[in-house]
């Protein structure tokens, strides 16, 4: 991570640096200077439904204009839609104003390159270099202009539909779609309806403050209840910016990102389209790894974050990867993780195989995994403390090679994440609490 950029752009609480109008204005200017130096002076800006998006959008526009870069606004759009539109409009970059799954009072800025991928480390460094300089302004005749792309949503809906096999239909499926009161509220329900499904919407009435609040991929209670009430075939949960997917089956059982990846890989093997292996993360459930081994599919782990999954995919020249939290990447369809497209792939496999959502994950048995988050506010690094290291060593010895322990700092929130995985649920929970207690005593 750089001085300003984290694993997923720049993120924080609105009103606290760096998510302030003055810093974001300068960020727009710095990014504009770095991009203009490469000869392309056109960028797209999209956002999720947070009320702060209006303020940050205006600040970015002013900064880009001062650097002589033209801005085209997309309005509320899913993060993967902005990656797609950046590529198709041949823009220098796409900018996303979103804090993804975080509450409304957080926000962030992340960038896509002209190819629809995350910015290179070199370009991020050039932007950071400009951020440390005094802001200036091009002459009036060279100022950037601003406009809107009115048909952005329609373009993206058609792109999503294009990945669904033309010979299939969702007409026999009843879906509940939870848009997390976020950026997919006017996209996802239309995609699934136009593919033939009967769609019941929830989390599709954003008001600027209710994004991810008791809904979406990070809180499945409302979706589970609605699926049971409606006797739906499946529930689809997206997060605030549309790059995560979680699924609920007809009985209300959750199917997470690891299981979705497994289902897509198993279907790709049946279709004869799988090339290479699968990238997970250090948090991926050991059950997925074991299930893929039975299918003779290579598997490797990356650091947590879709950026690192993407890097490992490109390095290995593989196509499918993801995280248990619901980031699913398939480079045969898109340049970044996309919740809607992952859902379309899952649904098309269900239709092709004429099976239930639960049947899609047959052959994979997750191991009990407990994650405890400890808020981290002090300057001390608890991951290096002797008491914490001793507790980890003690638990690892007790697991005797039949489980895992992982401690890491969150890349998006001030948290230490303590994960323990093993065969016995009660023991795993106790071990996680034991280590978390040692971490909490320090932070």
- Please identify which residue in the block is written with the tokens 């999720």: 48
Would you mind telling me the total number of residues written for the chain in this entry? 443
Question: What is residue 412's DSSP assignment?
Answer: S
Whether the CB-CB separation of 227 and 234 falls below 8 Å is answered with yes
Q: What is the DSSP string of 325-348?
A: TSBEEETTT-SS--HHHHHHHHHH
Distance CA 390, CA 350 (A): 47
Strands 234-238 and 254-255: unpaired
C-alpha 119/C-alpha 113 separation (Å) is 5
Q: Are 94 and 117 in contact (CB under 8 A)?
A: no
Catalytic, out of 52, 65, 98, 100? 100
Cβ atoms of 265 and 318 within 8 Å: the answer is no
- Separation CA 211–CA 58 (nearest Å): 21
Active site residue 52: no
CA atoms within 13 A of residue 287's CA, in its CB half-sphere: 22
- Residues 108-134 as b/e (b if ≥16 CB within 10 A, e otherwise) read bbbbbbbebbbbeeebbebbbebbeee
Q: Which of the residues are catalytic?
A: 100
């Amino acid at each position: 991570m750089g001085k300003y950029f984290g694993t997923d752009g720049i993120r924080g609480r609105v009103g606290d640096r760096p998510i302030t109008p003055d810093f974001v204005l300068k960020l727009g200017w710095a990014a504009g200077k770095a991009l203009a130096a490469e000869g392309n002076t056109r960028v797209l800006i999209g956002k999720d439904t947070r009320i702060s998006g209006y303020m940050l959008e205006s600040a970015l526009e002013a900064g880009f204009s001062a650097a002589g870069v033209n801005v085209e606004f997309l309005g509320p759009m899913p993060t993967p839609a902005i990656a797609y539109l950046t590529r198709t409009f041949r823009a220098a970059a796409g900018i996303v104003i979103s804090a993804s799954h975080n509450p409304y009072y957080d926000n962030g800025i992340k960038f896509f390159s002209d190819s629809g991928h995350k910015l290179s480390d070199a370009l991020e460094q050039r932007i950071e270099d400009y951020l440390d300089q005094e802001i200036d302004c091009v002459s009036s005749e060279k100022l950037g202009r601003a406009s809107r792309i009115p048909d952005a949503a329609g373009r993206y809906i058609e792109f999503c539909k294009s990945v669904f096999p033309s010979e299939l239909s969702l007409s026999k499926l009843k879906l509940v779609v939870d848009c997390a009161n976020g950026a997919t509220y006017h996209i996802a329900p239309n995609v699934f309806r136009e593919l033939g499904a009967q769609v019941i919407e929830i989390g599709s009435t954003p008001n600027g403050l209710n994004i991810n609040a008791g809904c979406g991929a990070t809180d499945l209670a409302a979706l589970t209840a609605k699926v049971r009430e409606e006797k739906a075939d499946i529930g689809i949960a997206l997060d605030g910016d549309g790059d995560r997917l979680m699924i609920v089956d007809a009985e209300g059982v959750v199917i997470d990102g690891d299981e979705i990846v497994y289902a897509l890989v198993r279907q790709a093997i049946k279709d004869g389209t799988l090339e290479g292996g699968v990238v997970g993360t250090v948090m991926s459930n050991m059950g997925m790894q074991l299930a893929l081994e039975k299918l003779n599919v290579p598997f490797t782990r990356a650091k947590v974050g879709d950026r690192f999954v993407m890097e490992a995919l490109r390095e290995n020249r593989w196509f499918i990867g993801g995280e248990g939290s619901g980031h699913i990447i398939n480079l045969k369809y898109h340049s970044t993780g996309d919740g809607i497209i992952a859902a379309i792939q899952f649904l098309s496999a269900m239709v092709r195989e004429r099976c239930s959502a639960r049947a899609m994950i047959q052959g994979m048995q997750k191991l009990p995994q407990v994650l405890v988050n400890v808020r981290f506010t002090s300057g001390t690094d608890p991951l290096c403390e002797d008491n914490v290291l001793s507790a980890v060593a003690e638990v690892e010895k007790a697991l005797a090679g039949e489980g895992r322990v992982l401690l890491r700092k969150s890349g998006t929130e001030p948290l230490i994440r303590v994960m323990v995985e093993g065969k016995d649920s009660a023991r795993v929970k106790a071990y996680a609490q034991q280590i978390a207690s040692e971490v909490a005593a320090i932070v």
